[in-house]
Amino acid sequence: MNADLFFVLGATHHDAPIAVREKLALAEEAERALHAELAASGAVSELAVLNTCNRIEFYGVAAGSDAIARVEDGFRRRVGCAPEELAAIRLRRSGLEAIRHLFEVAAGVDSQMVGENEIFGQVKDAYAAAVSRGTAGPVLNRVFQKAFQAAKHVRTHTAISAGQVSVANVAVDLAQNIFGDLAPVNVLLVGAGEIGEKTARALQSRGACRLTLCSRSLERTVTLAETLGAGTLPFEHRESRLVDFDVVVGATAAPSHILAAAAVAAALRRRSGRPLLLLDLALPRDIEPAAAGLANVFLYNLDDLAAIAAENRTARAAEVEHCRQLLAERADFLWRDLGRRAMPRPELRPPLLPGRGPAPQADHPS
């Protein structure tokens, strides 16, 4: 296998702050259009897209010398990013280095909150989407399956996930630091997706019992509220009822702000000096950043929470290095094995075609 064929291209929290990652977030429609463009050009023979709050990454197999440049150009045009702007924050690796990177991502070692569990599921979802789309071939099948094995291995044999390393847990720690006992605190959770549910459960595990859920999907809101024993609020009332809540969590997939600074200011005038904690767990952000400048408002976004969690990362520095060594050993073994197996050269295969592709390999040791 030629070292230049397998690659990863993208941008992550390491070099792109939240304001930049908002701009780079690839909408579902734009992702479909990019896949169609690359399929028509034959630039890549395999492709998987990992699109999360902290990273946008394209894992692929190049079918030509200009393949990576074509992926970058197509992505850049769809998010409206200037070439020099993307170049300043771009992640670009190939061959063994790309495999090592994927292994570290899947294991949570490269995460903004090192050791978090959510990324493993997100990587699996990205791979499953590529399989469903027909853009995962023999290289991606094997590399991703081995990444999952490596991630499970380090989570089982190291303490990488020890401590409060999820966004939800760090957010709840912050709420406790500000309010102490969470039992009398009124919490509004806007967003009924996975992050919203995990945050709700983390709040309840620390004693919060006055939860109200709100999302654009009434059916999803009611279903989750029944599961959690929480109240509900119509989405259109989210701003007018802010005065009733002490903690507001934004965890939607909305393309723009769903809580304006003006609405927060209006609520504060009726709160008689009581503090308001705003936890923005969304990307793009749910809460207008200008709200942070208001008196008695504590606004934290994903980057803020990651900074708070940095102390946990420092304490686990030796464990992180141990994980990296274990993952590197497995990545190196896979790289050598791929060479021995003489994987078919991608340029001899037809270009990726949406809806068609080989079935994934079984998850088995090398």
* 3-state secondary structure (DSSP) of residue 172: helix
DSSP secondary-structure letter at 290? G
Which residue is associated with the tokens 């399956």? 145
From CA 320, how far away is CA 326, in angstroms rounded? 10
Pairing of β 55-62 and β 6-12: antiparallel
* 3-state secondary structure (DSSP) of residue 361: coil
| Helix or strand holding residue 123 (H, E) | helix 118-133
Which one from 53, 81, 214, 323 is the annotated catalytic residue? 53
Asked if 53 is an active-site residue, the reply is yes
From CA 225, how far away is CA 151, in angstroms rounded? 33
Residue by residue, DSSP assigns 190-251 as: E--SHHHHHHHHHHHHTT--EEEEE-S-HHHHHHHHHHHT-EE--GGGTTTTGGG-SEEEE-
Residues with Cβ within 8 Å of residue 251, at least 6 apart in sequence? 189, 190, 191, 193, 195, 196, 199, 281, 282, 286
Nearest CA to 346 out of 42, 143, 132 is that of 42
Nearest CA to 116 out of 78, 76, 170 is that of 170
Q: How many CB atoms lie within 10 A of CB 88?
A: 12
From CA 222, how far away is CA 134, in angstroms rounded? 35
Maximum C-alpha span of the chain: 71
Backbone Cα Rg of the chain: 22
Active-site residue numbers? 53
